[in-house]
């Protein structure tokens, strides 16, 4: 699952495109997932962008 992933889609409410990356960071002690989705404008809504970050780590217990 490591790497860069791209997606595109459309539906009744509009079209969107997104990308996310999953990369090891901090000498491999964590995985960082970054995502970015761009949603096209429709007749009733302006274009929008969603960005997120998730950190995955192993509990040492």
Question: For residue range 14-48, what is the model confidence (pLDDT) as tens digits?
Answer: 678 999 999 999 999 999 999 999 988 888 889 99
Taking CA atoms, 22 is separated from 3, 30, 57, in Å, by: 5, 10, 13
CB distance 53 to 32 below 8 Å: yes
What pLDDT is recorded for position 25?
A: 97
Length of the chain, in residues: 61
More confident residue, 9 or 14: 9
What pLDDT is recorded for position 21?
A: 97
* pTM score: 0.76
All structural domains of the chain: 3-57 (2.20.130)
What pLDDT is recorded for position 11?
A: 67
């Amino acid at each position: 699952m490591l790497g860069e992933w791209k997606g595109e889609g459309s539906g009744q409410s509009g079209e969107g495109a997104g990308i996310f990356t999953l990369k090891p960071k901090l000498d491999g002690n964590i995985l960082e997932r970054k995502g970015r989705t761009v949603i096209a404008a429709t007749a009733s809504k302006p274009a929008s962008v969603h960005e997120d970050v998730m950190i995955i780590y192993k509990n040492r217990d």
